[in-house]
Amino acid sequence: MPCTTLLVGKKATNDGSTMISRTDDGFFDVKKTIVVKPGKDNKYKSVIGHLEIELPKNPMRYTACPSVDPKHGVWAATGINECNVGMTATETTTSNPRVLGADPYVVYQEKKSKKDKDIPGGIGEEDIVVLVLPYIHSAREGVLRLGELLEKYGTYESNGIAFNDEDEVWWLETIGGHHWMARRVDDDEYVIMPNQFGLDRFDLDDAFGAKKANLCSKDLREFIKDNNLDLNINGEFNPRLVFGSDSDSDHVYNTPRAWFMARYFNRNSYKWDGDNADYTPESNNIPWSMKPDRKITIEDVKYVLSSYYQGTKYNPYQKAQYPEKGIYRPIGISRTGVTSICQIRSNVPDSIKGIEWITYGSNAFNTCLPIYANVDKLPAYIADTKLDVDSNTFYWGSRLIGALADSNYGTSIQFIERYQNKTMNEARRLLKEYDAKMLKQNDNKLLLEANQKICDMVKKETIDTLGKVLHDASVHMKNGYSRADN
């Protein structure tokens, strides 16, 4: 699924937390945010791959953002489990014919006659969170469990998956049908992933030795050598050259997003615009990870994941008629279902370490709603989304605001900015208030109360903003007329 991922190490954030975030850019998928409690099922059956997998015992509770319509499977997207491990899956990535010819995807094959049997496919985005998040106690464990599943069952698509706990952030990328590699994000760096194979550095010696910051499938060295995959020279090893793509479409769909994100976080470190720029929107060598010019906040992550190239000639909403206007794929695209930021904090008790920041719809026009993840139930405002349009739910309220504001950007953007500022200010205040209460009482009932208060506040402001952009859209309807009836 086309998405955009941003990861931040604990020394690169303003509060020492780790953050993993991703826009889940489906096709206007209707989403909700729920708590999944441990069940008794010991087998999992996928819809797309028609694959049955036996599950480990003793699963944990976790949050998830599944699709409301289950016809294509769960698609849990993202969440935080009761051990304060976060996960987001998946970022659709790219590959090349050399890799896929050597290790093809594992695709479901329906039987051709009554005598035959169906051949199951591998695992994919539909399944990965459900198969991994309830069973892991650290980010590293997440990599190892998923790696084992990939080697055993294979996958039918190319994906990137992120994990975080209070100390570490890990990024795993699949390679062909059964191979994979993963790297620990340096504490003082952030990572940008715009639908391409991302890793541009990897220590194979560490992966097959101490395994401190690099992990991979057991035969990756042989796989590279036997299939003549290594395009590197001078002794360097850049996995992006070996396993990734280098296509014309990357330059309008993928690399511009990496450019905007890096340009935002490292505006003073490099030249991003004009003649002799270090990197342009169509550069293939924009680094996978960088040290930011300053510490990164939740608000920064939300802003970057809302980008439509504001402040550049590529902005589709600007009045100026640049030839380049709207030529690149935005980050805050119209069809986003859900975006989450899994934030794991280290300077607070275990009960309040995990905060999940949720948005629905196009990030350009929505706001961020934080929830304490260590709860047994979430408010109906985010958990009870239905397929029918209902402005009393956060998902549909966000979608309606985005569709109306997009059509009248010049006059509606002021309402959006006020809405985003007001809700984020109040959400921050409520988190601080309930953090302090939990430090004194450590009563999980307070977390239920806090989540409800945050949702009630955001609901009030969402309905108010919806009314404003609806009125603005009504005023600008094309069948209006200047002459009144009186």
CATH number, domain containing residue 142 = 3.60.60.10
Same domain, 168 and 289: yes
Last residue of a domain, one of 321, 349, 364: 364
> 383 in a domain, yes or no?
no
3 part of the active site:
yes
* Ramachandran region, residue 235 (left: φ > 0; alpha: ψ -120 to 50; beta: rest): left
CA distances from 391 to 339, 366, 459, 465 (A): 19, 14, 9, 11
Q: Which domain holds residue 153?
A: 3-364
Average pLDDT of span 478-482: 90
**pLDDT tens track for 156-186:** 999 999 999 999 999 999 999 999 999 999 9
Same domain, 242 and 196: yes
Same domain, 185 and 299: yes
Same domain, 400 and 358: no
Q: What does the pLDDT read at residue 115?
A: 87
Percent of the chain residues past pLDDT 70, beyond the cut: 99
**pLDDT tens track for 218-260:** 999 999 999 999 999 988 899 999 999 999 999 999 999 999 9
Last residue of a domain, one of 330, 364, 398: 364
* Number of domains forming the structure of the chain: 2
> For residues 175 and 181, is the Cβ–Cβ distance under 8 A?
yes
> 133 in a domain, yes or no?
yes
> 134 in a domain, yes or no?
yes
Mean pLDDT of the chain: 97
Find the distance separating the first CA and the last CA of the chain, reported in whole Å. 54
One of 3, 65, 216, 342 is an active-site residue; which one?
A: 3
Average pLDDT of span 95-102: 98
Same domain, 171 and 251: yes
For 457, the token pair is 């506040």
Same domain, 304 and 421: no
> 281 in a domain, yes or no?
yes
Side chain identity, residue 253: Y
> 192 in a domain, yes or no?
yes
Same domain, 338 and 428: no
Angle at 38 between CA 36 and CA 43, to 5 degrees: 105
CA distances from 372 to 354, 355, 376 (A): 6, 5, 10
> 205 in a domain, yes or no?
yes
Its pTM stands at: 0.97
Beta bridge partners of 88: 78, 162
Nearest of 367, 359, 309, 303 to residue 336 by alpha carbon: 359
Residue 482 predicted with pLDDT over 90: no
Angle at 137 between CA 134 and CA 141, to 5 degrees: 95
Q: What does the pLDDT read at residue 483?
A: 79
Residue 357 predicted with pLDDT over 70: yes
Same domain, 20 and 120: yes
CA distances from 297 to 14, 106, 347, 426 (A): 6, 39, 16, 16
Same domain, 56 and 8: yes
CB atoms within 10 A of CB 58: 8
Last residue of a domain, one of 315, 331, 364: 364
Q: What does the pLDDT read at residue 478?
A: 93
Same domain, 249 and 339: yes
**pLDDT tens track for 19-70:** 999 999 999 999 999 999 998 889 999 999 999 999 999 999 999 999 999 9
Side chain identity, residue 129: V
For 308, the token pair is 């439509």
Q: Which stretches of 146-271 are assigned E, i.e. beta strand?
A: 159-164, 169-175, 179-184, 190-193, 214-216
> For residues 397 and 462, is the Cβ–Cβ distance under 8 A?
yes
Question: What phi and psi, each to the nearest 5 degrees, are found at residue 388?
Answer: -75, 140
Same domain, 165 and 252: yes
> 379 in a domain, yes or no?
no
> 417 in a domain, yes or no?
yes
Side chain identity, residue 267: R
Nearest of 395, 329, 287, 358 to residue 92 by alpha carbon: 329
Same domain, 486 and 350: no
